[in-house]
Amino acid sequence: MTSYRISFSSSRGNPFVLSPSSYSLHSFSVLSLSPSRQNQKGKVSFSASEDVNPRYNIAAKKEVVDVELLPLKKEDFEDAKQLLKQEYWKSPEGAKLWEKNRNLEEKRPFAFNDLEANVWKGEDDLMGLKGKVEDLRTNDLKEDAGAIEDDLKLRRRRVKEVCKKYNLGPLAKPGSRPSIKHPPTPNYDVFYFDRNDGLAWCPIYKAASTTWLYNFILLGGLSDSYVQNTKEQVSHVARKLWPPLEYTQAEALKMSLKFMIVRHPFERIVSAYRDKLENLNIGKEHGIEHFYQKYGRKIVAKYRQEGHGPPPADRYSQDKDNPALPPPKGIEPTFEEFVRYLINTDLVYYADDHWMPYYLHCTPCLVDYDVIAKFETLERDQRYIIQKRKLEKKIEVSWKHLTKGKKTAETVKKYFATITKEQLLKLYEKYRIDFELFNYSIDDYLFYVKPS
């Protein structure tokens, strides 16, 4: 596939979208075009402008391409989406691309400067460019590297400011004591550290952890087929390859790219509950029986006997999208019971890794992370990490156990509808430092909870 980038505009500044043709499909990149004539319907001639960015070494050949041009206004977004639901846009790649550009609407004035458009160009290769989709993505990252790094710097700066606020880490006032409970030293033993590739990751479970356990297994020399066929949990396989880091080895971390991945703390809590506690009849590979024996049965014994939890038969069923899955046995804790357990537990000393606060597990006030990746920008952030360490030939950007954003929001809302506002605020206090460090909010969740 030939890859280009179209940056298109008109003398009136209106954004446009090119509709896919029924002919050969091509993705455009690194080409600045301007319309030489316009018709509301039909075809428009485009010619390469004289000021094509010299970094691409493209001569402005004044070649003309006939394409169908549709004026696109923000209010016409859904209509345009329906029009574009054909051919390329029906493919997985096209659908993913559409979502990417839909997200741009939230970040800047509505325009499709980053749109990968499809156009019939006849037999000639416009501008003589050949390439692959991955080349386009690489160019995208190079173009956006400055913006990405600015974003990452802001995240790191925020962490430092919050740590300073609570007298944690190197920015704390001399002689002062931390204003919150906090480990005295970095939690180095949780890291996966690949010395050869200069990559160190602090795993936060339920935040792309499966993806990066898988990646570190590949970096450790095992094949993809081995990972797919082994019956052993990926966390056990990865830890055998990358044993816990000794404190005396921590100096080597300074020369590596250190990263952690975070998501909204409440999303993570729901994910951990669903994966580890909700249903004893599914997910044996996730160690649910172990979690029930260690946590679940104790939670039920303590909180259900108080009469606060709904009877087992009335509890929220886990997965309505998969009705074939067996229902819970009814002896598992409800989400509301789990929340009360979290509220009443000292998470500094007694939290499992799957719901331990980020600031305790990865100690970002004591470890200077190079990249703080977020679920909301995970694909971009992962690509940055991989290309920064030149690991493209060893691992690729992927996302195991991917859940669409809309579905995640709907699911989280259903679970939080089972707790009260008072419980929500108490739960927030348990994870408040994480909210502050990584700039998350509880505002939406205030509308999810059940009425008082």
Q: What is the pLDDT of residues 33-50, one digit of tens each?
A: 334 333 333 333 333 333
Residue 344 DSSP SS3: coil
At 6-23, the pLDDT tens digits run: 333 333 333 333 333 322
Domain end: 116, 131, 146, which one? 131
Banded model confidence at residue 171, pLDDT cuts 50, 70, 90 = confident
Cβ neighbours of residue 345 closer than 8 Å, sequence gap 6 or more: 351
- What are the angstrom distances between the C-alpha of 217 and each of 17, 199, 283, 353? 42, 13, 22, 20
Residue for token pair 């700066």: 157
Does the pLDDT value for residue 313 go beyond 70? no
Structural domains in the chain (count): 2
Rounded to whole angstroms, the Cα distance separating 49 from 28 reads: 15
What tokens does 192 get? 């996966």
Q: Say whether both 127 and 139 belong to one domain.
A: no
Q: Say whether both 275 and 326 belong to one domain.
A: yes
Q: Say whether both 107 and 145 belong to one domain.
A: no
User: Region 240-251: what's the mean pLDDT?
Assistant: 84
Does the pLDDT value for residue 65 go beyond 60? no
Q: Say whether both 378 and 419 belong to one domain.
A: yes
Q: Say whether both 84 and 170 belong to one domain.
A: no
Banded model confidence at residue 249, pLDDT cuts 50, 70, 90 = confident
At 410-441, the pLDDT tens digits run: 899 999 999 999 999 999 999 999 999 999 99
* pTM across the whole model: 0.66
Rounded to whole angstroms, the Cα distance separating 142 from 35 reads: 27
Does the pLDDT value for residue 231 go beyond 70? yes
**Rounded (10°) CA dihedral 313, 319, 324, 328:** -30
Are the beta carbons of 370 and 201 closer than 8 angstroms? no
Which pLDDT value is given to residue 125? 31
Residue type, 214: Y
Are the beta carbons of 381 and 267 closer than 8 angstroms? no
User: Region 88-116: what's the mean pLDDT?
Assistant: 46
Which pLDDT value is given to residue 226? 86
**Beta 199-202 vs 192-194: how paired, if at all?**
antiparallel
Strand partners, 371: 259
Burial label for 191, CB within 10 Å (0-12, 13-18, 19+), is buried
Which pLDDT value is given to residue 146? 80
Strands of 156-256, DSSP E: 192-194, 199-202
Q: What DSSP assignment string belongs to 279-291?
A: -TTS-GGGTHHHH
User: Region 22-27: what's the mean pLDDT?
Assistant: 26
Domain end: 131, 161, 181, which one? 131
Angle at 394 between CA 388 and CA 395, to 5 degrees: 75
Q: Say whether both 126 and 147 belong to one domain.
A: no
> Which DSSP symbol is given to 48?
E
**CA quadruple 427, 432, 438, 441: dihedral positive or negative?**
positive
Q: Say whether both 137 and 118 belong to one domain.
A: no
Q: Say whether both 45 and 177 belong to one domain.
A: no
Does the pLDDT value for residue 326 go beyond 70? yes
Nearest to 185 by CA among 246, 244, 247, 253: 247
Greatest mean pLDDT among 24-33, 67-76, 91-100, 404-413: 404-413
Q: Say whether both 398 and 414 belong to one domain.
A: yes
User: Region 379-407: what's the mean pLDDT?
Assistant: 77
Which pLDDT value is given to residue 102? 52
Q: What average pLDDT does the chain have?
A: 71
Domain end: 131, 156, 185, which one? 131
Q: Say whether both 375 and 385 belong to one domain.
A: yes
Q: Say whether both 365 and 234 belong to one domain.
A: yes
Q: Which domain holds residue 70?
A: 3-131
Does the pLDDT value for residue 341 go beyond 70? yes
User: Region 63-72: what's the mean pLDDT?
Assistant: 38
Higher confidence at residue 107 or residue 232?
232
What tokens does 248 get? 């005396």
Q: Say whether both 117 and 216 belong to one domain.
A: no
Does the pLDDT value for residue 328 go beyond 50? yes
**Beta 371-374 vs 257-262: how paired, if at all?**
parallel
Does the pLDDT value for residue 263 go beyond 60? yes
- What are the angstrom distances between the C-alpha of 57 and each of 29, 30, 51? 13, 10, 11
Largest CA-CA distance found in the chain, in angstroms, rounded: 79
Residue for token pair 């950007």: 397
**CA quadruple 193, 194, 199, 205: dihedral positive or negative?**
negative
Does the pLDDT value for residue 370 go beyond 90? yes
